[in-house]
Amino acid sequence: MDLEGLAMVLKEVLGLGREPIGVKFVEDEVPLDGFELPSQRCYCQVLMGAGEGQKLLLTANNIPCPAAAWALGVKPPPAKLSSGEMPAGMGIFGNPAAASNTLSTIPRLEMGKYRMVVCCPLAESPFEPDVVIIESYPEHLMRVTLALVFGTGGRLRFDSAILQATCVDATIIPLVDQRLNACLGCYGCREATSLADSECVLGFPIKDLRTIVGSLKKLNERAIPQVRSKPVYKALTKRA
C-alpha cells in the first residue's frame, strides 16, 4: 500500500494542518527504527506528536493516563477509576455512580494482548497501520465520512461517551468494530494536547483508506470546491 501517496491526497484535498496518523498495535516484533520511547506520555499526547511528525511508542511503562492504559489493555485500572470516584472528583460527572455507569459501557482491548502501541505520520509508517486517525476541523472530517459512503450510500453511526475520545472513540472502536468513528473530543485530550476548540477527532480502520482516498479525489472534482465557494450563501447575501 502506497501510504505516502494516500496520505498526501488526504492532506491536499482536505487541507489538513496536521499529518494523518497511523496507529499500530504490536503483539510481537515490528521494525521500529527511528521510533522514540518518550518518558510519561498520554496516548492523546502521542497522537499529537505523531500529527506533528514524530514517531512514538507507548507501553505500560510510559503511559501515565490510567483510563487510556486500561482501555488499551496495558494496565489494570486503579480502584478510584473503576469505581467512578476519580472522574467524579475531576468534575467530569456529577457523581461516582454516573461515572461508573459510563465506564461500564467503554469498549476495551484484552488486558495484556498487546506489548505496545506505535504512532507515526501515516506517510512515514514502515508498516501497515491498524487504524488511521485525523484530528482536524469538522468540515474536514465531514469530507472523510462522506467519502466512505460515496459509492455505497447509507448512514453512519457515531459512538461516543464524551470520555476517552482519542483512545477509545477514534482508535479502539475503529480497530475492534472495523468501522469509522468520529467524536467531539473529551476532557482529557482537550486539556492535555494542542487540539483546538474548533477541532474534533476521527478514526477508521486501514481497510477503508483506499476507498476514502479514491472517493475524496472524485468529490474534489466538483462537490468540495463548489461547497467551499458558498455560491448559494453568496447569492443570499447579495439579495439581502
Cα–Cα dist 202/185, whole Å: 9
Cα–Cα dist 81/77, whole Å: 6
Per-residue pLDDT averaged across 3-25, rounded?
A: 98
Per-residue pLDDT averaged across 30-42, rounded?
A: 89
In the predicted structure, residue 227 carries a pLDDT above the cut 80: yes
Question: Hey, what's the torsion of the CAs at 160, 85, 45, 169, to 10 degrees?
Answer: -10
pLDDT in tens, 192-209: 999 999 999 999 999 999
pLDDT in tens, 117-176: 999 999 999 999 999 999 999 999 999 999 999 999 999 999 999 999 999 999 999 999
| pLDDT cut 90: percent of the chain above it | 95
In the predicted structure, residue 30 carries a pLDDT above the cut 90: no
pLDDT at 1: 83
In the predicted structure, residue 29 carries a pLDDT above the cut 90: no
- Look over the chain and give the mean of its residue pLDDT values, rounded to a whole number: 96
| pLDDT cut 70: percent of the chain above it | 100
* Domain edges within the chain: 3-65+114-239
pLDDT at 235: 92
Q: What is the DSSP string of 62-119?
A: T---HHHHHHHTSSPPPHHHHTSHHHHHTTSSSSHHHHHHHHTT---PPTTS-SEEEE
pLDDT at 176: 98
